[in-house]
Amino acid sequence: MAGNSGSNGEMYYHDSVVRFLVMCSLVWIVLGMSAGAYVAAELIWPGIDFGQPWLSFGRLRPLHTNSVIFGFGVSALMATAFYSVQRTCHIPLATPRLAWATAILWQVGILTGGLSLLAGINAGKEYAELEWPFDIVITIVWICFGVVFFATIAHRRIKQIYVSNWFYGGLIIVVAMVHVVNSLAMPATLFKSYSIYAGAQDAIVQWWYGHNAVGFLLTGGFLGMLYYFLPKQADRPIWSYKLSVVAFWAFTYSYIWAGPHHLHYNAIPDWVQNLGMVMSLILLAPSWATMINGIMTVSGAWKKLRTDPALKFIVLSLAFYGLATFEGPMMAIKSVNVVSHFTDWTIGHVHSGALGWNAMIVFGTYYFLAPRLVGAELYSVRLANVHFWLALAGTMLYILAMWGAGVSQGLLWLSLDHLGEPSFSFKDIMASMPPYYLLRLIGGLTFLTGAVLMIFNLYMTMRGRETLRVRPPEVGSVREST
């Protein structure tokens, strides 16, 4: 607010760090999704690991999830947080060197962490596989991320903190909390530690973490992206400010309770399961409130949808956000979960969020961002449109395949014959899966092909062009609309 009064003569937004993070995230897309396609292929042709430990499904799959969530997802979140926090505060990043340190250290940490997973160094907790030295690095980088972000907000020249920053702030604060608590472990050697929690207690803590890593990183963080880039691209203010306030706090309060739905009918207390189920259902309200706010923001700019690939991607991502945040609470109902738990339905649900929501909103954002970073037109709108249809087709194939596979598995596992014995052996049920798995692989490869087209498109857009030096608006000039 204060401190930077007067002329902003030589002040420029720090956008080169944004550009660096965008490029890193593009590398992670290819790496993470290729690993995903490879493990999908291994489920059809198990021999393609060639007896190599590092190519084995159990090691490659954590590399896939870590690369897409922490490599691609977090790099994209850092890039867009750094970009938007400057513009919503009318001031360059308060600590640009620390921003660079954050960006680079994160890449080094996740890259070496990914290699450690291939080497079989694995703490054994889902989405928290990295061992304790990496956990410490992640914590340090995350604190740096928070310092850069909140110091910039503290120096802002606009009184009000814009809604996108609440979500990015929630991402930083809550992910720090759940990461630190869940990662507490007793080190035995440099690359081996044991969780300080055991058994059922460990399970409750892990899914409190696991669900809220999804909640505040893949949902909340990306909602920050939505709240900045959707109004920008649609060139319209957020439809309802009140709704955004209510939805934000309801979301922040209720998401954290929903973790136990990952443990329905497992050996944890019933009250924890039931509470997790009820809060998961309640979560539908703030989730959809935000979706409605987003859709209504676009309303009136619908004709832009025909011509603008960035807006198309963002609006489609909202649709998948709506689908995934409806499907999630439904799967959290115990009687539905009986069928869906432990099946490929879960994998399908995750990907309707990860491909349909997270990746698509990043694609839309990047089609907006890349030309603006260098002050040029997008290299090819036509190619971006091709990408749009590949992304949509790939996601749909993926989800449909996993619905088919998952519902079959769930129902066939539960089926009993007239003697009360299981009707089908596990082996026979799995033997019916290859068609679904092949369809899933095709869906994933289609999606990946689209992403590669985008990378080419963005590369051609930015190639040989300097990052634009953008000044904040003069003091007292137009205020950022909320």
Partner 1 sequence: MSGLSLHQKLENNAALLVFGILFVSAIGGLVQIIPSLTQDSLKTPARNTRVYSAVEPVGRDIYIREGCSVCHSQQIRPLLAEVKRYGPYSRAGEFVYDRPFLWGSKRTGPDLHRIGGKYSDIWHRVHLIDPRAVVTNSIMPAYPWLAERPASAAGDIQANLRALQRLGDPYADADIEAAPGQLEGLLEVDALIAYLQMLGVGFDAGASDDDGAGH
Q: Enumerate residues 244-283 that contact partner 1 by CB under 8 A.
A: 245, 249, 252-257, 259-260, 262-263, 265-269, 272, 275-276, 279
Report residue 24: phi and psi, to 5°. -60, -45
Judged by beta carbon, residue 306 or residue 418, the one nearer partner 1 is 418
Judged by beta carbon, residue 51 or residue 464, the one nearer partner 1 is 51
Whole-number Å distance between alpha carbons of 410 and 419: 20
Judged by beta carbon, residue 190 or residue 475, the one nearer partner 1 is 190
Structure tokens at 164: 């996108």
Q: State CA 85 to chain mean position distance.
A: 19
- To partner 1, the closest distance from the beta carbon of 58 in angstroms equals 2
- To partner 1, the closest distance from the beta carbon of 128 in angstroms equals 9
Whole-number Å distance between alpha carbons of 57 and 143: 33
3-state secondary structure of 422: strand
Contacts of 249 (CB under 8 A, 6+ apart): none
Q: Residues in the chain, how many?
A: 482
User: What b/e string do you get for 315-339 counting C-beta neighbours within 10 Å, with b at 16 or more?
Assistant: bbbbbbbbbbbebbbebbbeebbeb
- Among residues 141, 15, 139, 28, the alpha carbon closest in space to that of 79 is found at 15
* Options 18, 22, 148, 204; binder of partner 1; rule CB under 8 A: 204
Using CB under 8 A as the binding rule, the residues of this chain from 144 to 203 that contact partner 1 are 150, 153-154, 159-161, 166, 169-170, 173-174, 177-178, 181, 186-189, 192-203
Q: Fill in the DSSP letter of residue 416.
A: B
Element (H, E) at 192: strand 192-195
Judged by beta carbon, residue 420 or residue 476, the one nearer partner 1 is 420
Judged by beta carbon, residue 65 or residue 80, the one nearer partner 1 is 65
Whole-number Å distance between alpha carbons of 137 and 168: 20
Size of the site for partner 1 (CB under 8 A): 96
Judged by beta carbon, residue 17 or residue 121, the one nearer partner 1 is 121
- To partner 1, the closest distance from the beta carbon of 35 in angstroms equals 13
Using CB under 8 A as the binding rule, the residues of this chain from 56 to 95 that contact partner 1 are 56-59, 61-62
Judged by beta carbon, residue 275 or residue 383, the one nearer partner 1 is 275
- To partner 1, the closest distance from the beta carbon of 112 in angstroms equals 17
Using CB under 8 A as the binding rule, the residues of this chain from 430 to 469 that contact partner 1 are 430-431
Distances from the Cα of 66 to the Cα of 126, 136, 213, 236, 402, angstroms: 10, 16, 12, 36, 21
Start-to-end C-alpha separation, the chain: 17
Using CB under 8 A as the binding rule, the residues of this chain from 2 to 61 that contact partner 1 are 42-44, 46, 49, 51, 53, 56-59, 61
- To partner 1, the closest distance from the beta carbon of 215 in angstroms equals 9
Judged by beta carbon, residue 279 or residue 373, the one nearer partner 1 is 279
Judged by beta carbon, residue 252 or residue 446, the one nearer partner 1 is 252
Q: Is 239 in the site for partner 1 (CB under 8 A)?
A: no
Using CB under 8 A as the binding rule, the residues of this chain from 119 to 138 that contact partner 1 are 120-126
Using CB under 8 A as the binding rule, the residues of this chain from 205 to 234 that contact partner 1 are 205-206, 208, 216
Judged by beta carbon, residue 234 or residue 272, the one nearer partner 1 is 272
Element (H, E) at 340: helix 334-340
- To partner 1, the closest distance from the beta carbon of 481 in angstroms equals 14
- To partner 1, the closest distance from the beta carbon of 468 in angstroms equals 28
User: Helices 74-89 and 16-42: crossing angle, nearest 10°?
Assistant: 150
Contacts of 238 (CB under 8 A, 6+ apart): 163, 227, 231, 244, 293, 297, 482
Q: Which amino acid is at 277?
A: M
Using CB under 8 A as the binding rule, the residues of this chain from 344 to 373 that contact partner 1 are 344, 346-347
- To partner 1, the closest distance from the beta carbon of 329 in angstroms equals 15
3-state secondary structure of 133: helix
Beta bridge partners, 189, equal: 192
Using CB under 8 A as the binding rule, the residues of this chain from 400 to 419 that contact partner 1 are 409, 413-416
- To partner 1, the closest distance from the beta carbon of 292 in angstroms equals 19
For 387, half-sphere exposure in the C-beta direction (CA atoms, 13 angstrom radius) is: 27
Using CB under 8 A as the binding rule, the residues of this chain from 291 to 350 that contact partner 1 are 338, 341-344, 346-347
Q: Fill in the DSSP letter of residue 464.
A: T
Q: Fill in the DSSP letter of residue 217.
A: I
Structure tokens at 310: 């960035």
Judged by beta carbon, residue 416 or residue 478, the one nearer partner 1 is 416
* Options 422, 459, 465, 480; binder of partner 1; rule CB under 8 A: 422
- To partner 1, the closest distance from the beta carbon of 127 in angstroms equals 10
- To partner 1, the closest distance from the beta carbon of 428 in angstroms equals 9
Q: Where are the alpha helices (DSSP H) in 3-125?
A: 16-42, 57-66, 74-89, 96-118
